[in-house]
Amino acid sequence: KLLYHLEKEEQMPDGMCIDAEGKLWVACIDGGRVIRIDPETGKRIQTVRLPTPRITSCCFGGKDYSEMFVTSAYDGLDETTLAKEPHAGEIFKITGLGVKGIPQNFYAA
């Protein structure tokens, strides 16, 4: 079943996570953003733009899982592009989203 059709500017999905409300967060590689999707309706309900396009993954963390950590890539970018994208390859912390993540599951080995 198709959950969500990415808009042209969102580019391609990469890493993702689920928040405490059951909503899906998707890192949009080459889209410079993380989007929040309601899996029940299939609609995008939130967009967080970041200062570099190659967004690779996202997860919640911090003491109460209210902070989102987002990774980005710089591999494959030439020197000219890297000069235009000084934040490529950095890790970002986003606060104030109004939603929390859930603790990770641990499995016995």
Q: Residues forming the annotated binding site?
A: 14
Catalytic residue among 14, 19, 30, 64: 14
* Structure-token pair, residue 81: 């592009």
Measure CA 53 to chain center: 11
Per the annotation, the verdict on 38 as an active-site residue is no
Measure CA 85 to chain center: 18
Q: Which residues are annotated as a binding site for a divalent metal cation?
A: 14
Which residues are catalytically annotated? 14
